[in-house]
Amino acid sequence: MSGWCSLAGYLTYKAPGALGKLRGKRRQWFILDEKNTVLTFYKSEDEASLNKEPQGTIDVKNVAICTSADNSNQFIIVCDNKEHILTADNHESMMIWLVRIQAQKNRHSSSSSSNSNRSPYRNARSEDDADTTPFQDCRRRSEADIRLPRPLSDNIRRISTLISAPKGFDKDIDEVFSDRPHRKRKTGQDNLTPFSASQRSADSVFDSTQGTTPATNSPDSDFECRMADLEEELMDVKQAHKEALERENSYKLTLQRRDAVILEQDEKIGKLQEQVIKLEQRNRTPTNKNEEMRILRNQNNFLNAEIKRLTRLRVNEREASGSKDSRLYELENEIEQWKRDYVLLLQSCITVPTGDISDGVSVNLYGGDLHKNRVKQLLAEARSHNPSLPTFDKMASAALHVDGYGFKHSHSNEGLLLHYICTQLHQFYSATDLEVMHSDWKEVIASGPEALRQGTFILKRLVRSGVPAVMRPAVWKALIRSKVSNELEEKGLHYYDNLVSISRENEQVAKHRKQIALDLLRTMPSNVHFDSPNTDGIAKLHDVLMAFCLHRPETGYCQGMNFIAATALLLLDPHDAFWTLVAITEKCFSEDYFDSSLTGAQVDQEVLKELIAEKLPHLHNHLRRLDIDLTTITLNWFLAVFIDAVPFECQLRIWDCFLCEGPKVLFRFAVALLSMHGDGLLQRQDTISVMRYLKAVAKLTYDVDGLLHTAFNKLAPFPRRADITDRQKRQSKKLKAEMQRARAQCEKVLRVESFEGKALPLISCPIDNKQVLICFVKEDTSILYRADISLLLLHRLDIKIDGRVTCALSIQTGCIVLATVSKRFYKLHIDGEDCKIVWSCNLHAVMLCMAVHLEDDDCCRLFTGMADGTVGVMDRLNESDDDCLYVPISRCAVSALCVASDHLWVACGATIHIVHLETLDPIDKITVASDLLDQVLSMSSTPAGVWMVVRGSSLIQLWSPTNYTCLLQYETREGSNRLEEDETALNPTRITSMLTGRNGIWLGTANGQVMALDLISSVILTPPINNDSTSLDLGSASVSHLLEIPAGDFRSSTSSLASTTSLKDVTYDLKLIFRSKVSDNVVRCIVALSSPSDIKVVTAAGDVETDKNAVFVWGRKSNEEDDWLRESVQLASKVPDINFRSPCLQVQCNDKESSNMIQ
C-alpha cells in the first residue's frame, strides 16, 4: 500500500447506485489510509496483506457522514452525492470508525483552510506565471484561487458525538439553537434571493449575446458595436461573479460562527458524556435508555438533515461559481479571437494603387484615429506579455525596430506603420494559440528520424496547423536530419567542419569564390545578421556556400542557394544550415534542378501550367488568350522556395510544409496563390500589368491561414505525388528535345571567327557628340577605349570588365550600360578620362541585345534580349538594385531588338515577334528568312521603315512598321560576286555591322569594306474618288538624294501631295554613294556622332595594337557634297600587352543621338 494505516477491520458495505442494488451488502476488509485520506476496501484481510489490487476506494477528504436511524451500528458516507452504506459488528466499532474518519477529515481541512484565507484574486502575476496566457490565468482562478469555506466534516465529527448524550441534553441544545430557527429560514431562503437575482442578471447578459446588432452602413461600425456589447457583457459577468464571491464570503462567516457554537457544544457534550457514563453505571433502566435513544435519534436526524442541506448548498454554490468561471473563460476567449480577427482585418486594408509594389503601397482606414488608438491599446496589452514587441510611438518617430529574426523595420508612413503593428499583434495572438501544441511537438521530435521520414498523418496535421516559433528550430532540425540521416551516418558529424577547413585552399572552390563574395551582401541587406561584411551571419553564410561547392563540385554554386542557406541560418546553426542546403538540392529536387539550364525547374513550370488548366480553367484561358506566360515569376517561387516572394511569416509556414511533405506542396501553394488572386488577374488585360499585379499581391499575402486553407482544402482533390512524378517525366522528355534545338540555334548566335590573337573591335556606342566608346577583345578578355574625335586619339580606360562584352548602349550623355557573356550587367559613367562603374548586377541568362525607349528627358525604359528567349524590362536604371521584369517570347535566343513607333520588334531566330511597347502583348509575327535556323543580326527603325540584316547574309531588308510587309530587299555584293555562292563557307561579303539614319544607311562587311547608301523612294499617286471621275495615274514622284533632305521636309512634301491625292503605293531602292576598303579584318563597329554643324561616322575594323588604321573617322567635305573623307585615330599611348578575350556577338545599339546620324 502507498500510505500507512492506523485502523483496519471488517465492515459490511453496500455500494451506491444501481451497482449496490444488484450486488447487495458484502462483508469486506476496510483500511483507513491516513497518508492519502482515503478508505480502501478488499475482499478479505489476506488480499490486503498480499498488496493485491483493492476493490475500491472512498475519498474521505470532503465527505459528509451520518448515522442510520434504523441500525445503531450503521453509518453512511456521502461522497460526490453518492451514499456509501457501511455496517459495523457493534456500536463501539462503528464509533471508532466515525471518530478516526472525522479526525482525518479535520486534519485535511485544517491544512487546506490556511490556503482558503488567501485573496481569490491577485493584482499581479508571480514570476512563474509571467508567461501564462489570460486563459490559463482564468483557469487557475477557477480551479485553485477561489477557495470554499472550511469543510463541514469538523461539524459532522463533533455533532456525531451527540448520539450518546444523556437525557435532558435536548434542553441545552434547544437553548443554544433557540434563536436560530429564524436564521435558518433566512439562510435557506432569503440569502439565496440576491444570488438568484444576480444569476438572472448574468443570464440576461449571456442571452443578449445571442441577439443581432442592428445593421449599419459601415462594417467597422458593426464590428465596433459587437466589441462594445462583448465588453459590456464581460463587465456584467464580472460584476455577477463579484457578487457571488461576496455571498460566498458571507456564507463562510455564517458557517464559522456556527462552527464556533458547535465547538462549544462539543466541549459540553464531552463533559456530559462523562457524567452520563457515571450515571448509567449507577442506575440504568430500560425505559430511560429507550427515551434517551429516542431523543438522541431525533436530534441526530435533525443534525444529519441540516448537514445534508448545507452540503447541497455548498455543492450548488461551487457548481454556480464554476459555471460562471467557464462562461467568463469563454467570453475572454471569444474576445481574444475578435482581437485576432480585428488585426487581421486591418491587414487586409493594404492596397497597391498602381499595381506595382515597387511604386509603394497604401493603407486606407475609415474612422480617423479610432483604429490607431485601438491598436495602440491592444499593443500595450500584448507588450505586458511580450516586451519585445515594438512600440507605436517609438516607430512613429522613424526609429528602427529589429524583429526576432533580425529584420529591420522602419516606417515613416503612419498607415504602413499601423499595418506592421497589426502583423506583429496577429503573430502574437497566433503564437498564444499554438502554445498548447508544445507537448505534441515534443513527442513528434522524440519519435526519431524514421517516423519523421515517413510523414505520418499526425505530423502533416501538426505542420499544417502551424509550428510554434519557439519549436521551429528543433522541428526543422529534426525534419532535415530525417532526410539526410544516411549521409550523416556515412560522412560523420564533423564532415561539415572538415569541408570548411579544406575549402579555403581548394582549387575546385576557387572558381566560385568571386561570385559567392559578390552575392553575400546582396542576400538579406535588411537583416542585421547579413547587412555588413563584419557580421557573424556573413561569415557563416560564406562557409556554408563554400563547403557545399566542395561537397557537390559538379553543381557548385548557383545563384539562389545563398537565399536558401541564409534562411536556414536564421533558425539553425551553420552545420544544420549546410545539411539543409544538401537536403533541398539533393533530396527534395532532382539532380538537374540547379544545372546551367535549370532543366528540372523548367519541367516543374510545365507541370504547373497543366495544374492551372485543371484547377483554374478560367484563368488558364485568360492567360492563353493574352499569350501570357507566368513562368518568369513562378520559376523563382520554386527555385528559392518562395523566398522574398511572400512575407517572411508566410514563407516560414510554406517552408514548414515543404520540409515535411516535399516539393509537391510548392505546386499547391503556387496554384493557391493564383486562385486567391484570380479575380484580379482576370481584370488585367496586358502582360506587364499581370506580371506586376501578381508580384504585388504575392508580396502582400499576410493571410497565411487562408493560403493554407486554399492549398489543402479548397483545391482538393489535388493530384497525388505519383501523378505529378509521371507528369514531370513526360514534360522532361519534351523539354529536353526543345532545348536541344534551341541550343543549336544559340550556338549559331554565339559563333564567331577566330581572332588569332588580335585585339579587334567588337562593340561601340557614342559617349557624347565628340567621343565614342569602343570595346576591343583579345582571346578571352575585353578592354575599353575612348575615341576622341576632335583630337583623333584613342584612350585606354582604366576599368575592368568581367568577360566578353555582348552589347552596349548609351542611355544618356556619358552614361553607358553593357552586358557580358558572364551574365553580368554594368552601368558606367564616363566623363573625359574619368571612368567608373556605377553599379553592376547578375543576370539569369546572357544578355545579347538592348533597345531603349525614351519616354521623356528623365525617364527611359530599357528592353533587353536574353539568350533564353525572354525580354527584360527595366524602368529605373538609376537604382543599383534594379528590379527587371522578364517576359518570355520564344524558346530561341533574342538576337536583336528594335523600337518602331509604339511597337517592339523582337528577333528570335528567323522570326520577328511584334509586341506592344507598353504591355508587351503579342501583336503579330513575321518570318524574314527561309531557313528557320537563321538569326537576325541587327535591326534599326527609321521613318521609312525597319531595316534588318540576317546573320551571314549580304542582303539588307526594309520592312513596313504598319502592315509588316517587306518594302525592299537589296543585295550589297558587287555584280561579279553575286553568282559565286558556296554554302559550305562563310560569305566573305556578308554584312557584319549596320548604321541607319533618317535618309541613308552605312554598312560594314566581313571583307573589310565600308559602304554608304542613299534611300530612293518613288511615290505613285491617284486623285481622290468622286462621283463623276475615274482613277487617274499622275505618274510617279521621285524623291532622291535623301542624304540631303531632312525628314521634316520629306514628311511635308508627302503630306502636300496627299492633300490633293491619295497614296496608292511607294517603292524604295538604294543608291550606292561610295564603297571603300578600310581593312583586311571584319568591320564590326559603325557609329555616328551628330552635332548642329556636322556629322561624323566612326568605323573600327583593325587590330588596335598593331594597325594604325584600325579606327577611322569619316566626314564630308561640306554639307552640300556627297564626298566623304576619312582620317585614322591613333592610340594616345602604348598600353602593355594583357590577356584578352575573344569576341562573341555583334549587336547594333541605337540611342537618341545616333538615330539622327545623317541629316
Q: What is the CATH number of the domain that holds 97?
A: 2.30.29.30
Summarize the confidence of residues 1086-1097 as an average pLDDT. Answer: 78
Model confidence at 1065, in pLDDT bands (50, 70, 90)?
A: low
* Cα distance between residue 626 and residue 537, in whole Å: 45
User: Judging by beta carbons within 10 Å of its beta carbon (0-12, 13-18, 19+), is residue 23 exposed, middle or buried?
Assistant: exposed
Q: Rounded distance, CA 908 to CA 892, Å?
A: 5
Show the domain range for 581.
Answer: 495-588
By percentage, how much of the chain surpasses pLDDT 90? 10
In a shared domain, residues 709 and 676:
yes
d(CA 52, CA 46): 9
Nearest to 1151, CA basis, from 920, 945, 850: 850
DSSP-assigned beta bridge partners for residue 871: 865, 887
Residue 882: all three cell numbers together: 534594379
- Report the Cα 61 to chain-centroid distance in Å: 56
Alpha-carbon span 179 to 121, nearest angstrom:
36
3-state secondary structure of 956: strand
Q: Please tell me which residue, 130 or 595, carries the higher pLDDT value.
A: 595
CA 337 to chain centre: 23
How many Å apart are CA 946 and CA 1063, to the nearest integer?
20
Q: Residue 157 — pLDDT band, cuts 50, 70, 90?
A: very low
- The per-residue pLDDT for 171 is 42
Contact, 433 vs 465, CB < 8 A?
no
Contact residues for 339 (Cβ-Cβ < 8 A; gap 6+): 378, 425, 429
Q: Which of 557, 588, 619 is the last residue of a domain?
A: 588
pLDDT: is 411 or 378 the higher one? 378
SS3 category, 154? helix
CB neighbours of 467 closer than 8 A, spacing ≥ 6? 434, 441, 475, 656
Helix (H) or strand (E) holding 454: helix 449-454
785-810 core/surface letters (b: 16 or more CB in 10 A; e: else) = bbbbbeeebbbbbeeebbbbbbbbbb
Nearest CA among 590, 562, 596 for reference residue 577:
562
Per DSSP, the three-state class of 885 is: strand
Question: Which of 154-158, 762-766, 835-839, 1028-1032 bottoms out in mean pLDDT, i.e. has the lowest?
Answer: 1028-1032
- Grid cell 520564344 is found at 890
Strands 408-409 and 760-766: unpaired
- Decide which of 1023 and 951 is more confident: 951
Residues in Cβ contact with 713 at an 8 Å cutoff, skipping those fewer than 6 apart: none
* Alpha-carbon distances, residue 1026 vs 195, 848, 1032, 1034, 1059 (angstroms): 105, 53, 12, 16, 15
pLDDT digits (tens, 9 = 90+) for 853-905: 877 656 778 899 988 888 988 876 765 545 677 888 887 889 899 998 889 99
Cα 201 versus chain centre, distance: 48
Residue 404 included in any domain: yes
Other residues' Cβ atoms within 10 Å of the Cβ of residue 1018: 15
Residue 530 pLDDT > 70, yes or no? yes
* DSSP 3-state of 1159: coil
d(CA 340, CA 33): 51
Tell me, what's the pLDDT at 461?
Answer: 85
**What pLDDT, on a 0 to 100 scale, did the predictor assign at position 579?**
93
Q: Are residues 712 and 835 in the same domain?
A: no
CA–CA dist 523, 562 (Å, integer): 6
Q: Does 793 map to a domain?
A: yes
Cell numbers 576557387 correspond to 510
What would the mean pLDDT of 289-298 be, rounded to a whole number? 75
Written as one letter, the residue type at 581 is L
Q: Are 929 and 949 in contact (CB under 8 A)?
A: no
Q: Assess whether 540 and 680 both reside in one domain.
A: no
Looking at the predicted structure, is the pLDDT value of residue 721 above 50?
yes
Instruction: Find the length of the chain.
Output: 1159
Q: Are 763 and 826 in contact (CB under 8 A)?
A: no
735 and 852 share a domain?
no
> Where does a domain end: 588, 623, 654?
588
Examine the domain organization and report whether 328 and 356 are in the same domain: no
Give residue 758's pLDDT: 62
pLDDT for the residue numbered 652: 92
CA-based torsion, 418, 419, 424, 426: positive or negative: positive
Q: What is the predicted pLDDT for the residue at 27?
A: 92
**Hey, which residues does 926 pair with through a beta bridge?**
912
Burial class of residue 857 (count of CB atoms within 10 Å of its CB; 0-12, 13-18, 19+): exposed
Determine the pLDDT at residue 858: 62
Distance CA 510, CA 506 (A): 7
Q: Please give the order of strands across the beta sheet that includes 74-79.
A: 56-59, 38-42, 25-33, 5-14, 82-87, 74-79, 64-67
Amino acid at 475: V
Q: What is the mean pLDDT of residues 792-797?
A: 84
C-alpha cell at 87: 455496517
Q: Which of 563, 557, 564, 548 is nearest to 512 (CA)?
A: 557
Residue from 445, 1143, 569, 348 nearest 820 by CA: 1143
State the total domains in the chain: 6
**Distance between CA atoms of residues 869 and 851, nearest Å:** 15
Exposure on the CB side of residue 919, measured as CA atoms within 13 A: 14
Lowest pLDDT segment from 251-260, 344-353, 406-415, 840-849: 344-353
Residue 215: inside a domain, yes or no?
Answer: no
Same domain, 1108 and 1082: yes
Domain endpoint, select from 563, 588, 613? 588
The answer to whether residue 344 scores a pLDDT higher than 80 is no
* Amino acid identity at 557: Y
pLDDT category, 358, cuts 50, 70, 90?
low
Residues 779 and 871 grouped into a single domain: yes
Is there a domain that residue 482 lies in? no
Look at phi and psi of residue 802 and say left if phi exceeds 0, alpha if psi is from -120 to 50, else beta: beta
Domain assignment of residue 441, yes or no: no
Cα 666 off chain centre by: 12
d(CA 593, CA 601): 5
Amino acid identity of residue 1002, one-letter, is W
d(CA 104, CA 282): 35
Q: Across the chain, what does the average pLDDT equal?
A: 75
Q: Each residue of 997-1035: pLDDT tens digit?
A: 877 888 999 888 899 888 887 765 444 433 333 222 323
Q: Are residues 814 and 959 in the same domain?
A: yes
Give 577's contacts (C-beta < 8 A, 6+ positions apart).
540, 544, 565, 568, 569
Confidence of residue 41 (pLDDT cuts 50, 70, 90): very high
Instruction: Give Cα 14 to chain centroid, integer Å.
Output: 66
| CA–CA separation, 1047 and 1045 (whole Å) | 6
d(CA 441, CA 445): 6
Average pLDDT over residues 364-387: 77
Outline where 684-806 has alpha helix (H).
687-699, 704-709, 721-750
Please check whether residues 275 and 183 belong to one and the same domain.
yes
Q: With contact defined as beta carbons under 8 Å apart, do 324 and 410 qualify?
A: no
Assess if residue 229 is contained within a domain: no
Assess contact for 449 and 456: CB atoms under 8 A: no
Q: Can you give the pLDDT at residue 146?
A: 35
With beta carbons less than 8 A apart as the criterion, state whether 1083 and 993 touch.
Answer: yes
Q: Would the pLDDT of 244 be above 60?
A: yes
If asked whether residues 774 and 904 sit together in one domain, one would say yes
User: At residue 1021, what are phi and psi to the nearest 5 degrees?
Assistant: -115, 150
pLDDT at 309 (0 to 100): 79
Rounded Cα–Cα distance for residues 875 and 853 (Å): 10
CATH of the domain at 564: 1.10.8.270
Give the cell for residue 181: 430557527
Task: Check whether residue 540 and residue 404 sit in a common domain.
Answer: no
Rounded to two decimals, what is the model's pTM?
A: 0.54
Is residue 179 included in any domain, yes or no?
A: yes
With CA atoms as reference, report the closest residue to 789 among 1128, 436, 307.
Answer: 1128
Helix (H) or strand (E) holding 156: helix 153-160
Please, what's the b/e burial string for 142-178 (b: 16 or more CB within 10 A of its CB; e: otherwise)?
beeebbbbbbbbbbbbbbbbbbbbbeebeeebeeebe
pLDDT of residue 434: 65
Asked if 197 and 324 sit in the same domain, the reply is: yes
User: Does a structural domain hold residue 751?
Assistant: no
| Residue 772 neighbours by CB under 8 Å, 6+ apart | 764, 765, 766, 786, 787, 789, 1087, 1089, 1098
